[in-house]
């Protein structure tokens, strides 16, 4: 009770004190008291700010995307300051580059990954990834990477170490790839003769001052047996060279050299350089078509090593060697080793066995190709021979020639003495597939087809073919005026093709415009396969057929194969074959089969139809008969050269004007022999700046047909520029060092042919 009394007393005292304090606080007078409601002022609710941590996944994605793109410099910018102090950007880039090479990482998709987990703290984070290293040689290697990240300046940065390239590289370990050499596949002609093969070869050359003057004739004849030169050509090379020059003659197989060693051993001044490499026979059979090898450039060496190549390896640069690089080069084999910093092998990480390259059996007729290569003299030009009913290309000549063996660095004397790319007239350029030229009067075949199919003219329509005609308001001229020949006179439409009457085809071009068919000629040209690639197996150009004609003058020029149109000789061969076979366009083919060392062919040729001519059988027969008249009619433009040819030829001459010099000479034709052992062929000849097609190109057609059907025994007579078959009458020029030319054909001097035996024709 006593404690309770004391507690009550304490509470009473506290209340008295509080009342006293309140009583001392001054307050307003009663009269100033505001009886209105009192406003209550409230503070705003407190705002809590949260700064989000940087996104770990974003940094990882940027880093990995840069790795996938081989952008190692961008990867380096994402490293922490401490990491960049431990490795320079140059060393960083080198390590990733060397690893990509050793692994043979694929391009673009060499690195793929999946994020397995992330852990994030305010200033540190980690990410665990599964990374797939997708390689050219070793399949896919998978590794788990633990990536540590640190906060710097409010951003995540990667705490890098060498294990983030590949965990196996921790502690200074390195990768080493040991490549296995792979034999390259051979390239064969249709009869099985090798055109390109691995083998022992000998580079042959001489120094004039060291030759024994008493044995010069023996020297000339022996070298002629071993090289592509004739005896008189070797004599000229010897006489025109400086006394102490090294004069390269080319290469021969070791077998051929050994067979002639009794004679060679008695000669002085002759030098033999033995080597084992890719060898191209007979100085190059169809060299622009077969192609050549080249060494990996300094700029591309990393790229090719990632593909599995060794640094000293060669690869296809042009032709079939380029197009079929994968098949010819085989499956590269290699072993991937992990080594410690001291160079000791820790383990073998991966291995792939090698497989030799596959060989290519071509459609090329070795004997025909070789002889036609010797038939264009010093002219730039092309010859294409193609089977009528299959599209198989039997010969593809581009002149001038070059020796693919010159690109072999083992043959140092040759490679430094003569660079084909530095020679005049660009002999490496394939004029048959990449040369683009106005077609001239051969295009009149297309124009005649257009006239017949549109119905603006038929085979019985006739005009007077004079020296000139007025079309589209302009006077245009016939070729007979320039040749100072009488006008051709009254001609039906087939007669117009037979006589190659320009006025007839000018008139067709005008009438197509007047009758509302402005695009008919363009559409017909495209249906004949012009203005687009043929899809042959090597690099080619599409030529050009204008998208549209807007003026009468344009259509008139197109009607005679001039103006904006350009074509390749291969395209012309394809449509000439189609005219001859009844209208089927076949895809030109150079490859008969692709054959591994063991096993069945991986590819076998089957004819492929690429289109058909939109010409009725009746109209096609009219065109065929007119092409026959070009040769058999007394006034046909090819009668002088081909009327005695016994293999029933059909054809069309062409002389195409060009702005760079003399006209290009064309002849396009086919045969109708129906020999089961020798399928009928289409042959197209184009000679740059050579003049008249009837005088210059038609004789080459005659030779091609004669060689083919006679099994090479009939040369078809002498060409206008030859002293005798395959030997040019004028001196053979010696190549000099010149700047590398462009691929644009340039004008050449036109050799003067012998006097014609008949009046000149187009």
Instruction: Give SS3 for 473.
Output: coil
- Mark 72-96 as b/e (b = at least 16 C-beta within 10 Å): beebbebbbeebeeebeeeebbebb
Give residue 751's pLDDT: 38
**Local confidence band at 46 (pLDDT 50, 70, 90 cut-offs):** low
What residues form DSSP beta bridges with 387? 681
Question: In angstroms, what is the C-alpha Rg of the chain?
Answer: 41
More reliable by pLDDT, 89 or 253: 89
What is the mean predicted confidence (pLDDT) over 650-673?
Answer: 94
> How far apart (Å, rounded) are the C-alpha atoms in residues 502 and 63?
69
More confident call, 40 vs 543: 543
Query: Using CA atoms, how far apart are residues 307 and 1, in angstroms rounded to an integer?
Result: 105
Least confident of 2-11, 346-355, 368-377: 2-11
Tell me the pLDDT band of 395, cut-offs 50, 70 and 90: very high
CB 376 within 8 A of CB 395: no
* pLDDT tier at 415, thresholds 50, 70, 90: very low
Instruction: Give the per-residue pLDDT at 32.
Output: 43
Token digits for 450?
């257009």
pLDDT of residue 757: 38
Q: What is the mean pLDDT of residues 93-110?
A: 96
Q: Pick from 459, 398, 464, 410: which is nearest to 434 by CA?
A: 398
Q: Which of the two residues, 31 and 70, has the higher pLDDT score?
A: 70
The candidate with the shortest Cα–Cα distance to 314, out of 183, 421, 151, is 183
pLDDT confidence of 496, banded at 50, 70, 90? very high
Question: Contact 345/339 with Cβ under 8 angstroms?
Answer: yes
Task: Kindly state the average pLDDT of the residues 84-91.
Answer: 97
Chain Cα centroid distance, residue 492: 45
Taking residues 281-308, report their average pLDDT.
Answer: 94
Q: DSSP 3-state helix, strand, coil percentages of the chain (rounded to 5)? A: 35, 25, 40
The token pair at 674 is 């129906």
Interatomic CA distance for residues 76 and 86, integer angstroms: 12
DSSP assignment of 314-355: EEE-SHHHHHTHHHHH-B-EEEEEEE-TTS-EEEEEEEE--B
In degrees, rounded to 5, the angle at the alpha carbon of residue 367 between the alpha carbons of residues 363 and 369 is: 60
- Give the confidence band of 682 by pLDDT, cuts at 50, 70, 90: very high
Asked if residue 485 lies in contact with residue 758, where contact means CB atoms within 8 angstroms, the answer is no
Separation of CA 282 from chain center:
25
What confidence tier does 743 reach under pLDDT thresholds 50, 70, 90? very low
**Averaged pLDDT, 684-692:** 96
* pLDDT, tens only, 579-594: 999 999 999 999 999 9
Q: How many CA atoms lie within 13 A of 394 on its CB side?
A: 25
Q: What residues form DSSP beta bridges with 279?
A: 197
If one compares 8 and 542, the residue with the highest pLDDT of the two is 542
Q: Look at residue 26 and tell me whether its pLDDT is greater than 70.
A: no
Tell me the average pLDDT across 629-657. 96
Is residue 705 predicted with pLDDT exceeding 70?
A: yes
What pLDDT digit, counting tens, does each position of 724-742 carry? 999 998 654 443 333 333 3
d(CA 249, CA 266): 18
In the numeric block, the tokens 């366009």 are attached to 585
Residue-wise pLDDT tens digits, 303-345? 999 999 999 889 999 999 999 999 999 999 999 999 999 999 9
Band of pLDDT at residue 42, cut at 50, 70 and 90: low
Residue 721: its pLDDT value, please? 96
Q: Taking the mean position of all CA atoms in its chain, how far away is CA 427? A: 16
Mean pLDDT of the chain: 89
* Distance in angstroms (rounded) separating the CA atoms of residues 601 and 514: 56
3-state class of 702 per DSSP?
A: helix
Q: Are residues 273 and 411 in contact, defined by beta-carbon separation less than 8 angstroms?
A: yes
């Amino acid at each position: 009770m006593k404690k309770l009394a004391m507690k009550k007393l304490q509470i009473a005292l506290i209340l008295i004190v509080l009342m006293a304090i309140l009583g001392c606080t001054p307050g307003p007078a009663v009269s100033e008291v505001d009886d209105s409601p009192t406003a209550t002022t409230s503070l705003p609710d407190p705002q809590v700010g949260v700064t989000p941590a940087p996104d770990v996944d974003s940094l990882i994605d940027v880093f990995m995307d840069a790795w996938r793109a081989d952008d190692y410099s961008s990867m380096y910018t994402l490293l922490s300051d401490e990491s960049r102090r431990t490795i320079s950007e140059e060393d960083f880039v080198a390590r990733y580059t060397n690893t990509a090479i050793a692994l043979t990482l694929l391009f673009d998709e060499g690195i793929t990954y999946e994020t397995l987990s992330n852990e994030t703290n305010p200033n540190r984070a980690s990410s665990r990834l599964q990374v797939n290293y997708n390689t050219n040689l070793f399949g896919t290697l998978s590794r788990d990477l633990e990536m540590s990240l640190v906060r710097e300046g409010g951003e995540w940065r990667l705490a890098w170490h060498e294990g983030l390239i590949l965990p196996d590289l921790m502690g200074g370990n390195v990768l080493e790839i040991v490549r296995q050499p792979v034999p390259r596949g051979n390239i064969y002609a249709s009869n099985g003769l090798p055109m390109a093969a691995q083998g022992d070869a000998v580079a042959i050359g001489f120094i004039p001052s060291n030759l024994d003057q008493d044995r010069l004739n023996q020297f000339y004849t022996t070298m002629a047996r071993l090289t592509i030169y004739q005896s008189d050509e070797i004599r000229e090379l010897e006489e025109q060279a400086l006394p102490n020059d090294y004069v390269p003659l080319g290469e021969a197989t070791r077998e051929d050299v050994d067979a002639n060693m009794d004679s060679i051993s008695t000669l002085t001044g002759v030098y033999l350089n033995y080597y084992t490499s890719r060898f191209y026979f007979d100085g190059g059979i169809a060299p622009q078509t077969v192609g050549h090898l080249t060494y990996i450039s300094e700029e591309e060496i990393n790229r090719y090593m990632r593909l599995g190549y060794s640094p000293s390896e060669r690869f296809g640069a042009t032709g079939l060697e380029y197009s079929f690089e994968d098949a010819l080069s085989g499956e590269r084999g290699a072993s991937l080793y992990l080594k410690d910093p001291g160079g000791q092998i820790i383990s073998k990480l991966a291995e792939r066995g090698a497989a030799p390259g596959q060989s290519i059996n071509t459609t090329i007729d070795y004997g025909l190709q070789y002889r036609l290569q010797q038939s264009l003299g010093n002219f730039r030009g092309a010859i294409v021979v193609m089977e009528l009913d299959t599209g198989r290309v039997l010969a593809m000549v581009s002149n001038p020639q070059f020796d693919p063996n010159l690109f072999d660095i083992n043959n140092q004397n040759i490679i430094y003495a003569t660079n084909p790319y530095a020679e005049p007239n660009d002999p490496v350029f394939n004029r048959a597939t990449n040369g683009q030229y106005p077609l001239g009067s051969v295009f009149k075949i297309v124009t005649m087809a257009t006239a017949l199919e549109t119905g603006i003219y038929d085979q019985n329509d006739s005009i007077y073919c004079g020296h000139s005609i007025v079309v589209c308001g302009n006077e245009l001229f016939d070729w007979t005026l320039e040749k100072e020949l009488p006008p051709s006179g009254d001609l039906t439409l087939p007669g117009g093709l037979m006589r190659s009457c320009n006025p007839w085809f000018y008139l067709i071009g005008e009438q197509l415009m007047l009758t509302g068919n402005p695009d008919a000629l363009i559409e017909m040209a495209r249906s004949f396969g012009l203005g687009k690639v043929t899809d042959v197996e090597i690099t080619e150009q599409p030529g050009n057929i204008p998208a549209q004609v807007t003026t009468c003058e344009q259509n008139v020029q197109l009607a005679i194969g001039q103006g904006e149109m350009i074509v390749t000789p291969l395209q012309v061969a394809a449509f000439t074959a189609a005219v001859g076979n009844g209208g089927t366009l076949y895809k030109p083919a150079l490859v008969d089969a692709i054959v591994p060392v063991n096993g069945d062919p991986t590819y076998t040729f089957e004819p492929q139809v690429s289109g058909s001519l939109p010409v009725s059988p009746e109209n096609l027969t009219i065109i065929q008969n007119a092409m026959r008249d070009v040769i058999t009619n007394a006034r046909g433009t090819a009668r002088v050269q081909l009327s005695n040819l016994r293999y029933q030829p059909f054809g069309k001459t062409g002389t195409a004007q060009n702005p760079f010099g003399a006209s290009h000479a064309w002849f396009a034709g086919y045969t109708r022999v129906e020999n089961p052992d020798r399928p009928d062929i289409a042959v197209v000849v184009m000679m740059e700046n050579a003049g008249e097609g009837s005088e210059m190109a038609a004789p080459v057609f005659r030779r091609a047909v004669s060689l083919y059907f006679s099994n090479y025994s009939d040369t078809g007579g002498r060409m206008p520029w030859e002293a005798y078959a395959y030997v040019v009458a004028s001196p053979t020029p010696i190549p000099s060092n010149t700047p590398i030319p462009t691929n644009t054909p340039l004008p050449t001097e036109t050799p003067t042919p012998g006097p014609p035996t008949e009046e000149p024709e187009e």
